[in-house]
Amino acid sequence: MDKNLKIKPLTKEQLIISIDRLTRFKEPETKYLRVFKDIISSNLLEPKIKKQDLDNMDYEILKELAQAVINSSIPEENSDFLINQRLYDYENSLFKINENTEKLLKNKINYKNIIKLLPEEIPNNLKWFKTLNETKPNNTSFGFPIRKIVLCEGITEETLLPEFSKICGFDFNKNGVHIVSAGGKNQVVKYFYTFAENLKIPIFILLDSDAKSNLEEIKPKLREFDKIHILKNGEFEDLLPDKLIFKTLNYETENISLAPIQNINEYNSNVEFLEEFFKHRGLHEFKKSEFAQAVKKNISGTEDISEEIKDIINELSLLKEPLLKTY
């Protein structure tokens, strides 16, 4: 097939972007199809294939075309395809793989020589990808291989839970814990349905106390190795100790002349207090994402972690992990 193709080689940047997308946590069929189609559309000059034809193309042919474009963009050197097998094993340990997806994953892309093109400053998924070329890959510090999913409602949990957990001795990266912020309790249900349908690994679902109806929606699809924690009261911001909140506010406003911070217990929730604090002191609008980042900078030790957060971390640490292939 290669002899009849006219190819515009991928640039080094295009190669790195493509491998970055292929090694992210995402359903394999979706990400491989997207990357392979993009490569064929932009870099296969002849024969020029229409998008509609790509969408209807047999996966084996699609793979062969993308593979040809990628490999023609790399200096020709022998490859033993060990990395390809390890990537397949990894995706197969996470996801339920169908026959068509197997065609995409069982490729002969020259990953070994692509690794040589990677710069020093790269995201964690590519740092992990580089280790796949080692005799005994060291997959213990980049968050890969992923062994557990934490599915939460908002950005505060996504930002702070890994930090709290690390202080408590359970490092998300070292234990392959990947946290996903769904953007609301209804979205948590949608994400969970998709994950439970496609994933082989445990899912830890964290819900605010007002999500009891969503909890009932989740229960029928809950697998024996999944776990739900619904907060006793309020939302995740309500689990933050008062002292940590005050320490953060004092730090963030240290150069601003403000009246003393009022008693947080006068409010129905910590978020209500924070919204009022920012509003009545003429500060910018309270934003959970920015406040979570500020809190993260002000965590100094376990004294800044509430008992319920510690319970959540303990439950997560005890969640049974899948048996992944070791090398």
What would the pLDDT profile of 176-209 be if each residue is shown by its tens digit? 999 999 999 999 999 999 999 999 999 999 999 9
Q: Are strands 203-207 and 177-181 parallel, antiparallel or unpaired?
A: unpaired
Helix, strand, coil share of the chain (percent; to 5): 55, 10, 40
Q: Count the domains in the chain.
A: 3
| Pair (26, 119) in one structural domain | yes
Same domain, 213 and 247: no
Claim to verify: residue 77 and residue 193 sit in the same structural domain: no
pLDDT of residue 136: 76
The answer to whether residue 312 sits within a structural domain is yes
According to DSSP H, which parts of 199-299 are helical?
212-218, 242-252, 270-280, 288-298
Q: Is residue 158 part of a domain?
A: yes
Any domain includes 119: yes
* Cα distance between residue 35 and residue 236, in whole Å: 37
- What is the sign of the dihedral through the CA atoms of 36, 41, 45 and 50? positive
My answer on whether 199 and 247 are in the same domain is no
- Per the domain annotation, does 259 fall within a domain? yes
User: Pick from 106, 131, 156: which residue ends a domain?
Assistant: 131
Pairing of strands 6-7, 44-46: antiparallel
* Inside any domain, residue 288: yes
Is 325 domain-assigned? no
Kindly state whether residues 194 and 250 are assigned to the same domain: no
The pLDDT value given to residue 243: 93
- pLDDT value of position 2: 59
Contacts for 154 with CB less than 8 Å, ≥ 6 apart: 181, 183, 184, 235, 236, 288
The reported pLDDT for the residue numbered 50 is 93
Q: Are residues 154 and 39 part of one domain?
A: no
User: How far apart are the C-alpha atoms of 31 and 142, rounded to whole Å?
Assistant: 20
Helix pair angle (59-72, 28-43), 10° resolution: 60
Print the domain residue range for 73: 2-131
pLDDT below 70 — which residues of the chain?
1-3, 77-78, 137-140, 255-262, 282, 322-327
118 found inside a domain: yes
Q: Are residues 206 and 65 in the same domain?
A: no
Is residue 271 assigned to a domain?
Answer: yes
- Looking at the fold, whether 86 and 36 belong to one and the same domain comes out as yes
At 292 the pLDDT is: 97
Q: What's residue 276's pLDDT?
A: 87
Q: What is residue 279's predicted lDDT score, i.e. its pLDDT?
A: 83
| Judgement on whether residues 196 and 96 belong to the same structural domain of the protein | no
User: Do 258 and 227 share a structural domain?
Assistant: no
What pLDDT sits at residue 39? 97
Q: Which of 186, 234, 182 is nearest to 204 (CA)?
A: 182
pLDDT at 265: 84
Please give the Cα distance from 274 to 61 (Å, whole number): 56
User: Where does a domain end: 98, 131, 164?
Assistant: 131
If asked whether residues 181 and 312 sit together in one domain, one would say: yes
The pLDDT value recorded for residue 62 is 97
CATH number of the structural domain spanning residue 200: 3.40.50
- Looking at the structure, tell me whether residues 195 and 311 fall in a common domain: yes
- Out of 73, 99, 131, a domain closes at 131
Note the pLDDT of residue 272.
92
